[in-house]
Chain A
Amino acid sequence: MKERVKAMMEKVGLLPNQINRYPHEFSGGQCQRIGIARALIVEPKLIICDEPVSALDVSIQAQVINLLIRLQRELGLALIFIAHDLSVVKHISDRVMVLYLGRVMEIASSDELYAAPQHPYTQALLSAVPVPDPAHDMAGSVVPLAGDLPSPLAPPSGCVFRTRCPRATERCAAEAPVLLGADHQTACHFPGPLTEAEIAFARRTEAA
């Protein structure tokens, strides 16, 4: 058993001679490696990672994510990777599911979702991802969302996103959209890229 634990520590990038140390002697990234080792030791088929890197420094995040990707390839694991950082999710995921108020808004392969988001919410979310380019006009490309997330105790009728959607109509209040499509599924009555006019409208409502 001790051998198995040591082998697993080595696999996740910990030193096997640290086996008798206590968690407080480790850094955040190392602790997360311990958590991963603990999950892997029983040889699972699926690992659910709930914001595994959100508490870590950015430089450590990349190490832990690359570790997860490597282990996944080696062991053939399935992963459900939960995060609010879209660039992290893009890097690791085959497919991405976008949730809003407990409902699926859009689900597609990661390449497709990032290249051609169809749901207005996904578009707003993606526009908020920082672009590492000083020439990029951040203020000009962000689709702002007016207001706050509605209370889940009293969700809006019809489409739950309609209260903040620049494209909402009466139909959206009356009827909840169902998830449609084959590989790229969207729950929206009026999917498709937002037009300049709609983005400008969203910006005015947000400022008001």
Chain B
Amino acid sequence: MTRPLLDVRDLRVTFHIRREGDLPWTPPRELHAVGGVDFSLAPGETLGVVGESGCGKSTLARALIGLVPAEGQAEWIDGKDLIGLSPRQMMKYRNDIQMVFQDPLASLNPRMTVGQIIAEPLTTHHPGLKRAR
């Protein structure tokens, strides 16, 4: 088998929940949104993720691109573990891993033109191109 593009081992996302009425010294409760997920993804492959609302599908996605803190391991094809990277280190991979969201209108900035919206990631990840505009 060829080397996987992404190899995820025991990925866990835990939220610490405080409820109304909890006293300041009550320890927050732990919510395991993703409890140990393993899978690997080959280059060019499509992996479908299904399950009812609240089963952790979106949290899993957000964990992979570093939008929520996670534990475990997610090895990218170059051997780097994406979990626990600093934002600066993650920038390099943000270019290679893109996301498409559910609500199309809400995820687009209403004050930018379509051209600006589409060009924005390019100027973020490749600042050198800005001049060539």
Query: Which A residues are closer than 8 A to B by beta carbons?
Result: 1-2, 4-5, 8-9, 14, 18-24, 26, 28-29, 31-32, 34-42, 44-52, 54-56, 72, 76-84, 86, 89-90, 92-104, 107, 110, 125, 149, 152-153, 155, 160, 179
A41 contacts across to B, CB distance below 8 A: 118-119, 121-122
**A5 pairs with B98, CB closer than 8 A:** no
8 contacts between A and B (CB under 8 A): A1-B119, A35-B108, A48-B99, A80-B41, A82-B48, A96-B49, A99-B57, A125-B51
Query: Once bound together, how far apart are the Cα atoms of A76 and B121, in whole Å?
Result: 20
B122 contacts across to A, CB distance below 8 A: 1, 4-5, 41-42
Contact of A20 among B5, B77, B102, B114 (CB under 8 A): B114
Query: Once bound together, how far apart are the Cα atoms of A83 and B60, in whole Å?
Result: 13
Cβ < 8 Å to A, chain B residues 95-130: 95-105, 107-115, 117-123, 125-126, 129-130
**B39 pairs with A24, CB closer than 8 A:** no
**B54 pairs with A81, CB closer than 8 A:** no
**A97 pairs with B39, CB closer than 8 A:** yes
B44 contacts across to A, CB distance below 8 A: 72, 76-78
Query: Once bound together, how far apart are the Cα atoms of A32 and B132, in whole Å?
Result: 27
Query: Once bound together, how far apart are the Cα atoms of A103 and B13, in whole Å?
Result: 11
The 5 A-B pairs with the shortest beta carbon distances in the complex, nearest first, are A93-B48, A31-B104, A39-B98, A89-B48, A99-B51
- A30: nearest chain-B partner, CB-CB: B104
**A24 pairs with B110, CB closer than 8 A:** yes
**B37 pairs with A99, CB closer than 8 A:** yes
CB distance from A94 to the nearest CB of B (A): 5
CB distance from B27 to the nearest CB of A (A): 13
Query: Once bound together, how far apart are the Cα atoms of A104 and B72, in whole Å?
Result: 15
In the complex, whether B23 has a CB less than 8 A from a CB of chain A is: no
Query: Once bound together, how far apart are the Cα atoms of A86 and B50, in whole Å?
Result: 7
A149 contacts across to B, CB distance below 8 A: 52-55
**B46 pairs with A38, CB closer than 8 A:** no
- B104: nearest chain-A partner, CB-CB: A31
Find the residue from B29, B115, B123, B132 having the highest chain A CB count within 10 A.
B115
A179 contacts across to B, CB distance below 8 A: 38
Interface 1/0 per residue, B9-52 and A, CB below 8 Å? 00001000100000000000111111111110111111111111
- B35: nearest chain-A partner, CB-CB: A102
**A81 pairs with B46, CB closer than 8 A:** yes
- B119: nearest chain-A partner, CB-CB: A5
Query: Once bound together, how far apart are the Cα atoms of A71 and B26, in whole Å?
Result: 51
Query: Once bound together, how far apart are the Cα atoms of A97 and B61, in whole Å?
Result: 13
**B50 pairs with A1, CB closer than 8 A:** no
A55 contacts across to B, CB distance below 8 A: 102-104
**B132 pairs with A1, CB closer than 8 A:** yes
Query: Once bound together, how far apart are the Cα atoms of A39 and B119, in whole Å?
Result: 10
User: In the complex where A38-B117, A99-B60 touch, is A47 in contact with B133 (Cβ < 8 A)?
Assistant: no
